[in-house]
Amino acid sequence: MPEVWDRASAWLIPAGMVFLQSTIDLSKGDFVRFEGQPGEEDLSSFDPEQQEILRGFQGEDAGNIGFNEEGLPQFDQETGQPMGPESGFAERKGDLAVEVLNPVQVRGEWGPASWQDKRWHEVRSFRTQAEIFETYGIKIEGQQAPKGGSSRGGDTRVAERLTYGD
């Protein structure tokens, strides 16, 4: 968190204001392993022999088994037995992150109303294609900002230069 306050101070001193926005960073946090007991819906995609084995892992006294990315039980190729919970697919749980936004990136309804009384707020952030893919898993083509001076969808070159430099 100290680095967030450093970035916030770097904007607060020259600009007079800064905004903090909380987000979720899915690349952080503890790992969560896919494990549990197979349900009846999990059995339909397996052959009858494997279905019978999996039924033995259902119930209160049964242990957990590992599941793959698709949420299906994993089987050992050599023994044909379900793999233990430690072999289940794991992914990060995610964690809170704080993004520092400069005054050019944040807009509110025009007028003398105080910030909390404005009817709308708008945030414009700049991300690279790699950041978008890493964060959201979506591959996008590059976009060029529209030219013009309007407050909505206007010229963003100034904000981009202030945020990232020349």
Note the pLDDT tens digit of each residue in 31-53: 887 776 666 666 666 777 777 77
Query: From CA 157, how far away is CA 78, in angstroms rounded?
Result: 59
Poorest-pLDDT segment among 112-121, 129-138, 149-158 = 149-158
- Please say if the pLDDT value at position 154 is more than 70: no
Question: Does this model's pTM top 0.85?
Answer: no
Query: From CA 138, how far away is CA 77, in angstroms rounded?
Result: 33
Total domains in the chain come to 2
Question: What was the pLDDT predicted at 141?
Answer: 82
| Residue 132 sits in the same domain as residue 145 | yes
| Residue 83 sits in the same domain as residue 100 | no
| Residue 37 sits in the same domain as residue 66 | yes
| Residue 143 sits in the same domain as residue 63 | no
Question: What was the pLDDT predicted at 151?
Answer: 47
Average the pLDDT over 146-159 and give the result: 55
Helix/strand/coil for 160: helix
Among 44, 76, 92, give the residue marking a domain's end.
Answer: 92
Helix/strand/coil for 26: coil
| Residue 38 sits in the same domain as residue 10 | no
| Residue 105 sits in the same domain as residue 146 | yes
How many residues does this entry show for the chain?
A: 166
* Type of residue found at 34: F
| Residue 130 sits in the same domain as residue 148 | yes
Among 39, 61, 92, give the residue marking a domain's end.
Answer: 92
Please give the residue range of the domain that contains residue 8.
Answer: 2-29+94-164
| Residue 105 sits in the same domain as residue 130 | yes
Instruction: Give the pair of three-digit tokens for residue 165.
Output: 């430099």
Which residue shows structure tokens 């242990």? Answer: 63
| Residue 135 sits in the same domain as residue 158 | yes
